Amino acid sequence: MSEAVRSRLTVTDHSRTSAGLLYIYPVVSRRAGGVSVGINLNTNNACNWRCIYCQVPDLVKGAPAPIDMDQLRRELLGFLEEVIHGDFLTTRVPAGARRLNDIALSGNGEPTSAKEFGEVINLIGEARDLAKVPERVKTVLITNGSLMHRVNVQRGVKQLARLNGEIWFKIDRATDSGIRVINNARVSMSRVREHLAAAARLCPTWIQTCLFALDGQGPDDRERQAYLDFVRECLRDGIALRGVLLYGLARQSFQPEASRLTPLPPEALESFAQHIRALGLDVKVTP
């Protein structure tokens, strides 16, 4: 492990290079009271979407460069060994957060766009076994869900479920036009629904939603209603959702729209959460 790893991590350090590794970065979460081992496959900052709140600096359109699987294996296994059997937690992590919570595929772009996605999931399984990662530790895929129709992605996601897996599936707006504005993506809601259904069929799935004001305005009544209708219809049609992770604007956007975005008051998030809960879904709010 490099010199960069010797300084103590903080709950605000979400840098992808905080461990001095290419693919692996630790994040300390005060809310979750533990450490997440992040895997960043998109080391070139390339994503197939461009969300206006995205925190990736120098984001470009595209997919990751070929993954060096040997390096990823070395880094992941070495890091997990440090966390589980070494002194990483005691020397690097503040008291109160000294436990491993999850391993998360969450990088500087869409992880499922890596050609090696399926192999990466297998590699995580091997590393979990070799490092004797406790079963309670989750393996989380944070995704915009747009490539969930691909056979290799579905295969990977099915395998993910065996690793105490969870999918956090990004749905920020539930109209085609809303997705275009917020995520700069041309995808229809019927397609989103198909992808969400495929994800939930293969692996426990949460919807992940970021709510904020754009030019001083939060999502209007039409957008809010469309979202609630979408969730209601998913539930009616038997899509087995675990719940909704509702986020505010916690960190700074690195996109050109950054100055137009402001957080919503926590009460606004809570009020929207209540409407979702009324549909029968669990909602976790992070203002």
CB of 261 to ligand SF4, least distance (A): 13
50 binds ligand SF4 (CB under 6 A): yes
**Shortest distance in whole angstroms from residue 278 CB to ligand SF4:** 28
Distance CA 43, CA 62 (A): 12
Alpha-carbon gap, residue 272 to 46, rounded angstroms: 32
Q: Which of 23, 25, 49, 272 binds ligand SF4 (CB under 6 A)?
A: 49
Helices 176-183 + 189-202 axis angle, to 10: 80
> Is the CB of residue 263 less than 8 Å from the CB of residue 248?
yes
Residue 69 structure tokens? 């699987």
Q: Is 114 exposed, middle or buried (0-12, 13-18, 19+ CB in 10 A)?
A: buried
**Calpha distance 141→144 (Å, rounded):** 10
Please report, to the nearest 10 degrees, the dihedral formed by the alpha carbons of residues 134, 137, 139, 140 taken in order: 180
- Segment lying near ligand SF4 (by CB under 6 A), choices 49-57, 81-89, 211-219, 226-234: 49-57
Is residue 117 a contact residue for ligand SF4 (CB under 6 A)?
no
Report yes or no: 92 and 25 within 8 Å, Cβ to Cβ: no
Residue 63 near ligand SF4 by CB under 6 A:
no
CB nearer ligand SF4, residue 56 or residue 160: 56
Among 26, 34, 64, 109, binds ligand SF4 (CB under 6 A): 109
DSSP 261: E
Q: Among the candidate windows 30-38, 42-50, 86-94, 118-126, which touches ligand SF4 by CB under 6 A? A: 42-50
Closest CB to ligand SF4 among residues 50, 99: 50
Query: Is the Cβ of residue 101 or residue 144 nearer to ligand SF4 in the bound state?
Result: 144
Q: Which two structure tokens, joined as six digits, stand for 119?
A: 């192999």
Instruction: Name which position in 144, 208, 209, 253 contacts ligand SF4 (CB under 6 A).
Output: 144
- Give CA–CA dist 79/40, Å, rounded: 14
Beta strands in 144-267 (DSSP E): 165-170, 205-210, 213-214, 241-247, 261-262
Q: How far is the CB of 49 from ligand SF4 (least distance, A)?
A: 4
Stretch of 47-55, 66-74, 116-124, 149-157 contacting ligand SF4, by CB under 6 A: 47-55
Q: Any contact of residue 56 with ligand SF4 (CB under 6 A)?
A: yes
N-to-C CA span, the chain: 34
Tell me if 52 contacts ligand SF4 by CB under 6 A: no
Establish if 110 lies at the interface with ligand SF4 (CB under 6 A). yes
**By C-beta, is 75 or 110 nearer to ligand SF4?**
110
CB of residue 247 vs ligand SF4: minimum separation in angstroms? 11
Q: Which residue ranges make up the site for ligand SF4 (CB under 6 A)?
A: 47, 49-51, 54, 56, 109-110, 144
